[in-house]
Chains A and B, each alone.
Chain A
Amino acid sequence: MKLFSKKNTKFRIAEGNLIVIVIVLMVILSFATKNFFTVNNLRNLVRQTSVNGIIALGMTFVIISGGIDLSVGSVVGVASIVVAKLLVAGMGVFPAIIIALLVCVLLGTLNGLIIHYGKVPPFIATLGMMQAARGIVMLLSNARMVAGLPKVFTGFAQLVFLGFPSLFFVWFLVILVTFVLTTKTIFGRNIFAYGSNIEAARLSGINTAKVTVSVYAMSGLLSGIAGILMTSRLANGIPTAGQGYEMDAIASAVVGGASLSGGSGTVIGTVLGALLISLIQNGGNLLGINSFILQIIVGVLIVASVWYDQIRKTKKN
């Protein structure tokens, strides 16, 4: 029976287009450059995309809920400095990571609490957090790099399993978990309802405080994970780590079909969006295209993808 059909066709249209674009771009780059299709470059590409991709997934939750999180880049910095400081102070790798992640979750939770109870618009609340958290980072580190991290920690990012860099597996795990959360759980359903109409969600018994706080805490956690991976990769705690990453994260989600008005967005879309943006940057570099021009291209891509989406929607009407 048609009424009962399982899939909604949304997937095939939005993500389908992106998959095609990503594949075409990869094929073109493989032929157009010597270095694209080499193990080294692909691994690098994957490492870079993993960090952005993880942050972007946190952002996707926030955007589905109708909010925005501008503080992710600063939280990456917090994770980087906190974990590095703790390690240098001699703490074990495992507890250091846990503490750094807890701090990041705390910052995210604070965002959520301020937004829910203070009724401060997400843009403002997280803009404040972006500034404050970066300030904390600078204070903690005296605006200096934290060097001398143990090998166990820095070695992780260089590990390769089954031909894939370790960071990829972390990203993959995050993709799996977020995919299941958004599509299979009550929590996921509630975020979509909340992002679509918060009052209707509340009157349907959804605990809106819980949704707000979890969404921003989740974004904090994922930014923290990204920050730690990045620190491992760069082998130093870096105070400016993550600066500007909020833009890449938002761009990935939006290119992947998430709408800033809330209530829509998918994990797969964001993953593809993140891939596409990395590909443009990586491929552009290999082709020797001026990086400022690449920036223009990414800018155009963001606007064009939303524009295209709108055209498709109005066509349907």
Chain B
Amino acid sequence: METRPFLELKGISKQFPGVKALDNVDLTVYPGEVHALVGENGAGKSTIIKIIMGVYQEDEGTITLNGEQVTIPNVIEADRLDLAAVYQDLTLAADLSIGENFFMGQFPRKKNGMIDWNHVYSKTAETLKALNVDVDPRLRITELSPAMQEMVAIAKTVHKKSKLVIFDEPTALLSNEEVEILFEIIKKLKASGISVIYISHRLEEIFTVSDRVTVLKDGQHVKTLPVKETNEDQLISYMVGRSLTDMYNIEHYPKGEELLRVEDLNRGKALKNISFSVKRGEIFGLFGLVGSGRTEVVRAIYGADSIESGTVYFKGKKEVINHPSKAISLGIGLLPEDRKHQGLALTQSINHNINLASYKAISKFNFVLEKRERQRSVEYVNQLKVKTPSIHQLVGNLSGGNQQKVIIAKWLCCESKLFIFDEPTVGIDVGAKQEIYKLIEQLTKEGHAVILISSYLPEIMGLADRIGVLHEGSMPNIVEREAFSEETLLRYASGL
């Protein structure tokens, strides 16, 4: 690969208030190369991407494209230089259709000056089809599942003719099938000589798609090497500074009495006769393809969505949970899959977000005991190793993984008895993942129950005691731990 590099970053530094996000980082990407970027939460991966894309300005360092030094003051310039990115936080216009999102800012016109909608939608449909993304381009973004939104964002970015395409944790919300589609797309890009930067916390993906990998730690460049010359364990030790083994190997504790029982939950096509129960100390997995109704099940139990019929028993008592506050008062906590829109108040502090659901416990006559409030925040920031200079930092300024930890802290504060984790490790680095698994283990040891939704087979198979497999809104199969196998789960998930 001794051609001229397409992109060269030299000595890039970036300071945020209280955080040195990047410190003298180099990065070289060749044409037709898939270059992976790995590192812990807050290592600076997204920041480097945003500097390349003109979202942020570097404090120091140079950017060279095709041997020519450039400055990228804004996103428009990045676009002009044929750089494109799929960001970690989705950036589609939620109330517009897929087609409108695709052509935003450059709508094709008819002779009379009107927008040529037929062209917009047929062209979009064509692009989506070519990329194997099966969805109607007239649907609005809000009508799509998070996974489909991600696929649309990918398709939108890829369909622009770019010379460099950046993926910042594209697979976080995707199921296996879609990951396969994405890898096909990346292969095509590579074959046509386009450079790709690929960020993911799922290390095995790095070995599947990329040529070389760069490890960042605390904003510093640790190592760049061809993937052929390394392995997962080595990468982890570069990332974390220690080695981690057997992540999913947690202790399974004896089960106690039944905590939650759900009978014949129904809502239109989304939920069909869902029944299951969860015991204290148990981890109940929910698996299924995207759109199979996993999230709907837990949202219904939690009182976030209404149900048409069905009964929920908690601690043996029949309960009507028609609002999240009811669920919380019973001792149920939900970590939603879409943390930006459902989990966090981004413009508020860490302190506020951690305590958000449990102010009653730290108040007198509705007055917040501020010292207790701060104590709890500091305790959980330390325990979960949230990377931040202060508990007063706005959650919106945290890296993706650290945001997730803040939500988990929120439910820990509530002393919940049943924790519903909808994709809890999305966008979380290996070190933190292991901490979360340990935490789940700890919860079950203390006699709490966990419902775990995960699209990630190694994770759900490693952690769960039983797995309910959903297919198109119904859950005919619940698999016991002894019977777990990828094949079985996938077969049930596709309704076979």
Interface residues in chain A, defined as those with a beta carbon under 8 Å from any beta carbon in chain B: 1-6, 8, 184-187, 189-190, 192-193, 196-197, 199-207, 261-264, 316-317
Those of B344-391 within 8 Å (CB) of chain A: 344-349, 352-353, 355-357, 359-360, 363, 366-368, 370, 374-375, 378, 381-382, 388-391
Query: Is B113 part of the binding interface, using a Cβ–Cβ cutoff of 8 Å?
Result: no
Interfacial chain B residues near A187, Cβ < 8 Å: 366
Q: Is B317 an interface residue (CB 8 A)?
A: no
A-B contact pairs, 20 of them (CB 8 A): A2-B389, A4-B374, A184-B370, A185-B363, A185-B367, A186-B359, A186-B367, A187-B366, A189-B355, A192-B352, A193-B353, A196-B348, A197-B344, A197-B346, A200-B342, A200-B344, A203-B324, A261-B347, A263-B348, A316-B17
Residues in A neighbouring B302, C-beta threshold 8 A: 203
Enumerate chain A residues within 8 angstroms of B16, measured Cβ to Cβ.
316-317
B395 (CB) vs chain A CBs: closest residue: A196
Q: Identify which of B328, B356, B366, B391 contacts A193 (C-beta below 8 A).
A: B356
Are A200 and B323 also in contact (CB < 8 A) when A6-B374, A263-B348 are?
no
Q: How far is the CB of B398 from chain A (nearest CB, A)?
A: 14
Query: Can you name the residue of chain B whose Cβ is closest to the Cβ of A317?
Result: B56
B352 adjacent to A200 (CB under 8 Å): no
From residue B320, how far is it (CB to closest CB) to chain A in Å? 16
Q: Which residues of chain A are near B344, meaning CB under 8 Å?
A: 197, 200
What chain A residues lie within 8 Å of B4 (beta carbons)? none
Q: How many B residues face the partner with a CB closer than 8 A?
A: 45
The answer, among B343, B348, B370, B378, for a CB contact under 8 Å with A203, is: B343
Cβ contact within 8 Å between A204 and B324: yes
At the interface, yes or no: B221 with Cβ under 8 Å from chain A? no
- Cα-based distance from A199 to B348 in the complex (angstroms): 14
Q: How far is the CA of A184 from the CA of B302 in the complex (A)?
A: 29
| Partner among A189, A196, A203, A204 whose Cβ is within 8 Å of the Cβ of B347 | A196
Q: Is the CB of B324 within 8 A of A184?
A: no
Q: Is the Cβ of A3 less than 8 Å from the Cβ of B324?
A: no
Q: For residue B349, which residues in chain A have a CB less than 8 angstroms away from its CB?
A: 8
Closest to A210 in B: B325
Contact with A along B463-474 (1 / 0, CB 8 A): 000000000000
Q: Chain A residues with Cβ under 8 A from B370's Cβ?
A: 184
B359, A4: Cβ atoms closer than 8 Å: no
**Inter-chain contacts of A204 with B (CB < 8 A):** 324, 328, 356-357, 410
Within 8 A of A (CB), among B291-333: 302, 304, 323-325, 327-329
In the docked arrangement, what's the CA distance between A205 and B410, Å? Answer: 12
- On whether the beta carbons of B324 and A186 are closer than 8 Å, the reply is no
Measured in the bound complex, the distance between the Cα atoms of B324 and A204 in whole Å is: 7
Interface check B336, CB cutoff 8 A: yes
Q: How far is the CA of A4 from the CA of B345 in the complex (A)?
A: 20
Q: How far is the CB of B465 from chain A (nearest CB, A)?
A: 26
Question: Which chain B residues lie closer than 8 Å to A264 at the CB level?
Answer: 347
Identify the closest chain A residue to B329 (Cβ).
A205
Say whether A3 contacts B390, CB under 8 Å.
yes
Asked whether B345 lies within 8 Å of A201 as measured between CB atoms, the reply is yes
Q: Which residue of B lies closest to A2 (CB)?
A: B390
Known pairs A2-B389, A189-B352; list 7 more (Cβ under 8 Å).
Answer: A3-B378, A3-B388, A185-B366, A193-B352, A197-B347, A200-B341, A203-B324
Does B341 lie within 8 Å of A197, measured CB to CB?
Answer: yes
Contact indicator B347/A263 (Cβ below 8 Å)? yes
Give bound CA distance, A254 to B173, whole Å: 38
Nearest 10 pairs between A and B by C-beta?
Answer: A196-B345, A205-B325, A8-B392, A205-B328, A204-B357, A263-B347, A186-B359, A196-B347, A204-B356, A197-B345
B334 within 8 A of A: yes
Q: Which of B353, B368, B391 contacts A186 (CB 8 A)?
A: B368
Q: Which residues of A contact B378 (CB under 8 A)?
A: 1, 3-4
**Contact status of A5 and B392, CB under 8 A, knowing A202-B324, A204-B356:** yes
Q: Give B367 Cβ to nearest chain A Cβ, in Å.
A: 5
B363 touches A186 (CB 8 A): yes
Note all chain A residues with C-beta closer than 8 A to B336: 203
Chain A neighbourhood of B363, CB < 8 A? 185-186
With most chain B CB atoms within 10 A of its CB, the pick from A1, A3, A184, A196 is A3
Given the complex, which residues of B lie within 8 Å of A8, measured CB to CB? 349, 390, 392
